[in-house]
Amino acid sequence: MKPLRLALSIALALSAPVAFADDAAPPQKATNLGEVDVTAQLDAARNSLSPDTGSSQYVMDRQTIQALPLGDSTPLNQVILQAPGVVQDSFGQLHVRGDHANLQYRVNGVLIPESIGGFGQTLDARMIENVKLLTGALPAQYGDRTAAVVDITTRSQKQDGVGGSVGITGGQFGTLNPNATLFGRESNWSFFLTANYLENDVGIENPTASRKPIHDHTNQVKAFGDVSYLIDNDTRLSFMFGATNNRFEIPNNPGQDPQFGYLDVTNFDSAQLNERQQEKTRFGVLSLQGKVGGTAYQVSAGQRYSGLDFTPDDIGDLMFNGVASDVRRSNRADTLQADFSTPLGDNHTLRYGIYGAFERANATNNALVFPTDDAGNQASTTPLNILDTSRILARTYAAYLQDEWSIGSQWTVNYGVRADKFNAFKPESQLSPRLGVVYQPTDSTTIHAGYSRYFTPPATESITPTSIAKFNNTTNALPDNGNDLPLAERSSYYDVGISQKFGDAWTVGLDSYRRNVQRLQDEGQFGAAVVYSTFNYDQGKIKGDELTVNYDGGALTAYFNFAYNRAVGKRVITSQYNFDPDDLAYIEDHFIHLDHDQKYTSSGGVSYAFGEGTRVGADYLFGSGLRADGLVPNGDHMPAYFQLNLSVAHDFNLTPIGATHAQLALVNALDRTYEIRDGSGIGVGAPQFGPRRGVFLSLQQDF
């Protein structure tokens, strides 16, 4: 693991002008070495477009991912959980530094709009060469989603020819995960393709403490590709695409008592419910990247479609909840992104760019409900059908300008400004200054500090305007109060940190951050569908500290992360109809913990390589527990948890075409039963438990 709390000492190297082939030199034949050199130069130019100065970063390379117990079969969210300050939640959600979601995903420098699904992982770890988690006071280049930037560099072929791998992971809970990867390079063309299929019986967290959940099968298909053409030594055209189709059964919680009658039916076994959800995502991005004179650039046009379908158990949902909603959501985003980097003399690098997105979001709620009398009691056992639909058009525009100023050999200052405008229901905009400073008094010590003003539009795919009047006098009636249209969040972010190297093996980092927020965005699950809706607190206060320790002794590597966080909000100002009136009254005048606030979080791991072909490893996750209702909303927290994972791997030379890799993983080796959620808390839908002990074997044949 390479946790680099360097606040961008790396950026000092990346910001230097990139040496390209001399245009005046005689043309060379297309040899393998020349192609690799040109590709490396273009990759370096792309990196020069992405400064890190003033922020904090945590880097995980391909070797790090393969050392995890499940190796390349590790879901992307589980990979990111190894970084400091990242909190796990149900349905595969991640919380970084006190935010509910608000994660930005970039692949090869291109921003990919997020998907609707609450738990389907769209991106696959097999595509990753390295991934950086950028947090803190980000430079002006980064906007929109700012809790953290998941910056992924994809794998690519380094030499002429075709290679790849085929493999399979299998194990307990009905797990079957075959996969294939193919990559190659010929002349000016190169490509990388990967696909996998996953099925198991624990698609979503178990709502009970039992070892095997009821009705929890999942089938998931993922594919990713990147095809590039080298136009000349300074220019590359790339097409990147991906697709995901995930199907889930919603797990059942047995022993529940029906609250409503349906026709002549008075009883229903909650273990027999048949709720299902399907998530689809596909994206494509065409990028032109290269260099004109001294200016490096990348211009990308893309489209992302995301859809979610929730199919209820009509009779069962009516009897338990008084409503059975067939929920359909879709979101199509068209994007344009252009980034430029121009060296100005020996001490300055000017970076500037634009971003635009046009989104079309559709939501349909086809609901069965029961009529009620004036007192709100069920008036008939014959359901009514109510159709509630909405359509949103959202436009996002952004432009930024920043300068990285190297002052001597020890100081670097990155200052800039970003302009954002978001228009869905009414125009909202902000001009946001950014400032980051890095001081490197010695080769082993790096100190950074930064300030960023942030403007965070609501996630369009999570906006669900509701026609409250349609459900009056029904069992799905909502209070007629509040604004159902979320607002853009505005915040001031302060970050300071230090990284110290001890000898050649040890690196220790300490980071502290504070954030003052207006219109704090949060999300909640309101209803049976596993889908989230956005709401706002009027005020928010978030603070935290992070410690990272890394050891790299060659054969032995180890890492340790520990984080403290406190995130509170006051006064719900949008989507109030989703909340209990007593909770709203308390939150009106009191700060409460956000439901995803976890006071202490820790992760760590150790790996040892015996020679070239054998490795053993272990990693763990610890949390003091997410919030739950107590005497006040979110006033208590869940019990602390600890999950230990073990693995052993060996490479066999069984065939002349390539190594055969075998890896045995033991997940939750101590089989500790722990509850992530208990079903209480603001915007929390149902209880969920962490994974039970499982044994998994991965086999992979390279060629």
**Residue 277: pLDDT band with limits 50, 70, 90:** very high
Strand ranges for 408-532 from DSSP E: 411-423, 427-442, 445-456, 489-502, 506-524
Separation of alpha carbons 565 and 598, rounded Å: 6
> Hey, where are the domains in the chain?
9-702
Alpha-carbon distance of 14 to 406, in angstroms, equals: 12
pLDDT tens digit sequence for 23-57: 333 332 222 334 456 776 777 777 777 776 767 88
Q: Is the pTM of this model over 0.75?
A: yes
List Cα–Cα distances, 572 to 2, 107, 251, 540, 691, in angstroms.
40, 35, 31, 11, 33
User: According to the model, what pLDDT value does residue 201 have?
Assistant: 97
Confidence (pLDDT) at 528: 59
Question: Which residues of 345-442 form beta strands (DSSP E)?
Answer: 348-369, 384-407, 411-423, 427-442
Helix (H, G, I), strand (E, B) or coil at 42: helix
d(CA 665, CA 70): 6
Over range 249-274, report the average pLDDT: 94
Q: Which residues contact 133 (CB under 8 A, 6 or more apart)?
A: 57, 58, 60, 80, 83, 86, 96, 148, 149, 150, 151
Tell me 35's DSSP state: H
Task: Identify the pLDDT of residue 230.
Answer: 94
Q: Are strands 276-292 and 694-702 parallel, antiparallel or unpaired?
A: unpaired
Q: Tens digits of per-residue pLDDT, 107-121? A: 999 999 888 765 457
Place of tokens 């009514």: 384
Instruction: Give pLDDT tens digits for 366-411.
Output: 999 999 998 889 999 999 999 999 899 999 999 999 999 999 999 9
* Residues 659 and 652: beta-carbon distance below 8 Å: yes
Phi, psi of 95 (to 5 degrees): -125, 125
Give tens-digit pLDDT for 338-351: 999 999 999 999 99
Residue type, 231: I
DSSP string, 296-325: EEEEEEEEEEEEEEEE--HHHHHHHHSEEE
Do strands 110-112 and 128-136 pair parallel, antiparallel, or not at all (unpaired)? unpaired
Task: Identify the pLDDT of residue 117.
Answer: 67
Specify whether the CB–CB gap between 126 and 196 falls below 8 A.
yes
Paired tokens of 355: 């971003």
Q: How far apart are CA 429 and CA 455, in angstroms?
A: 8
CATH number of 9-702: 2.40.170.20
* Nearest C-alpha neighbor of 114 from the set 150, 162, 164: 150
Using the CB atoms, write b or e for 597-623: b if 16+ within 10 Å: bbbebbbbbbbebeeeeebbbbbbbbb
Question: Per-residue pLDDT tens for 302-317?
Answer: 999 999 999 999 999 9
Angle at 162 between CA 160 and CA 164, to 5 degrees: 130
d(CA 534, CA 117): 14
pLDDT at site 54: 64
Q: Is the pLDDT of residue 271 over 90?
A: yes
Q: Is the pLDDT of residue 501 over 50?
A: yes
Q: So what's the pLDDT on residue 481? A: 65
Is the pLDDT at 4 greater than 70? The verdict is no
| 642 contacts: CB under 8 Å, gap ≥ 6 | 620, 621, 622, 670, 672, 674
Q: How far apart are CA 538 and CA 515, in angstroms?
A: 14
Which of 87, 51, 52, 80 is CA-nearest to residue 64? 80
pLDDT tens column, 448-479 = 999 999 999 988 877 766 677 888 899 988 77
Highest-pLDDT range among 60-64, 158-162, 245-249, 580-584: 245-249
Q: Please say whether the dihedral angle defined by the alpha carbons of residues 607, 609, 610 and 614, taken in this order, is positive or negative.
A: positive
Region 255-264: mean pLDDT is 94
Pairing type for strands 128-136 and 218-232 reads: unpaired
pLDDT, tens digit (0-9, with 9 covering 90-100), for 193-202: 999 999 999 9
Both tokens of residue 243?
């697709």
